[in-house]
Amino acid sequence: MTPSILYLHGLNSSPASHKASLLLRAMQQLGLAAQLRVPALHHHPRQAVAQLDALISELGRPVLVGSSLGGYYATYLAERHGLPALLINPAVRPHLRFEGYLGPQKNYYNDETWELTADHLAALAELDVATLQDPARYQVWLQTADETLDYRDAQAYYLASALRIQAGGDHGFQGFAERLPMLFAFAGIPRHLWQDIDFSALN
């Protein structure tokens, strides 16, 4: 059975983000679009996790792919459901970093405006995983020039996991299309489906 993938976008992002769009186009090219879910996550963590729990129930045992805050959610869900997770510039303990950002927010993909409150931070704190039960279920991609998050926080937290640290780049993760074969290999998608495709053409 071909594995399914559940993609988790970051804060104020959406299914229209660059990485999500690239992944969708690549899965379409493989004829596997039906195996991918890219939900538009609610801005409140409790509602976002409820959305994701429902999709995990629907998909069975998906491979989680989480970017930024989506990487934080993916870690919590991977621990809760025993799932593999590939994390891209993931946030680590975001509830400790967002205090200075309380107040109005805007999602620049859909123009939604919302308020970041203390309750959001409390909900994020509830999802914190103190220690990974099985670091081997994670692969973590970091770029050192991430302008939003310090990659060293994730490097330290996921030290026992498979780390792929690339010099330069940015928070959006440059070169994502070229890395899609690594993602598909991690997800267990049969090699013959993707080994001869130049995904860089999707950029």
What is the rounded distance in angstroms from the CA atom of residue 40 to the CA atom of residue 44? 12
**What does the domain layout of the chain look like in residue ranges?**
5-202
User: Can you tell me the distance from the alpha carbon of 104 to that of 117, in angstroms, rounded to the nearest whole number?
Assistant: 9
The chain-wide mean pLDDT, for the chain, equals 95
Is 0.85 surpassed by the pTM of this model?
yes
Tens of pLDDT, residues 86-142: 999 999 999 988 777 889 998 888 888 999 999 999 999 999 999 999 999 999 999
Mention the CATH class of domain 5-202.
Answer: alpha beta
* Residues contacting 69, CB < 8 A, separation 6+: 10, 11, 91, 94
DSSP annotation string for 26-62 = HHHHTT-GGGEE-----SSHHHHHHHHHHHHHHHSSP
Go through the chain and tell me how many residues it has.
Answer: 203
Confidence of residue 203 (pLDDT cuts 50, 70, 90): confident
At 129-185, the pLDDT tens digits run 999 999 999 999 999 999 999 999 999 999 999 999 999 999 999 999 999 999 999
Q: For residues 19 and 180, what is the distance between their CA atoms, to the nearest angstrom?
A: 10
Spatial distance between the Cα atoms of 129 and 120, rounded to a whole number of angstroms: 17
- Once rounded to an integer, what is the mean pLDDT over residues 61-86? 98
Provide the pLDDT for residue 73: 98
Residue 118: the pLDDT is 92
